[in-house]
Amino acid sequence: MAPVTDGDTLLLHFTSTRPDGEVFEDTRMREPVQVTLGKRQINPLFEEALIGKEPNEMVTVVLPPEKAYGKFRRKLVVTIKRKKLKLDHEPVPGEFLRVEVMGKPCLVTVVDVDEKSVTVDANHPLAGETITYTITVAAILPRIG
């Protein structure tokens, strides 16, 4: 079979790890992910790394924070008065909440809680981290047409 070229539709498995080696995503226990190269369905650096690979071949891509989930931005850690949050429960650190930050609705992580306020982090939980992706080409699907 010919190697991967731009425009191919692939079945891929991903294993994603943090700098400490913790695996936070592993598709090998389920069906592979189907993507078509050139359609911006995956990170462009993944596409570039996959060109020329064969079925069952594996490639490792290491993404610095700015190419993965972004740099950690201190200004996205904010303290909000409890009365503005209108919560129906007592928040706890590590919990995810839907709130408005800088005028935009977003999912945030509770960092700290006190009597009058809740400090939340609107950064992606993996912001600031270098992420390693191991990508396996499970199959190259035949082109139709």
- Delimit the CATH 2.40.10.330 region(s) of the chain: 74-121
Task: List, in sequence order, every beta strand (DSSP E) within 5-144.
Answer: 9-17, 23-26, 33-36, 58-63, 77-81, 96-101, 104-113, 117-121, 131-141
pLDDT digits (tens, 9 = 90+) for 46-72: 999 999 999 999 999 999 999 999 999
Pairwise pLDDT comparison (107 vs 1), residue with the higher score: 107
Domain 9-69+127-141 has CATH 3.40.605.10: no
- Delimit the CATH 3.10.50.40 region(s) of the chain: 9-69+127-141
pTM: 0.79
Domain 74-121 has CATH 2.130.10.10: no
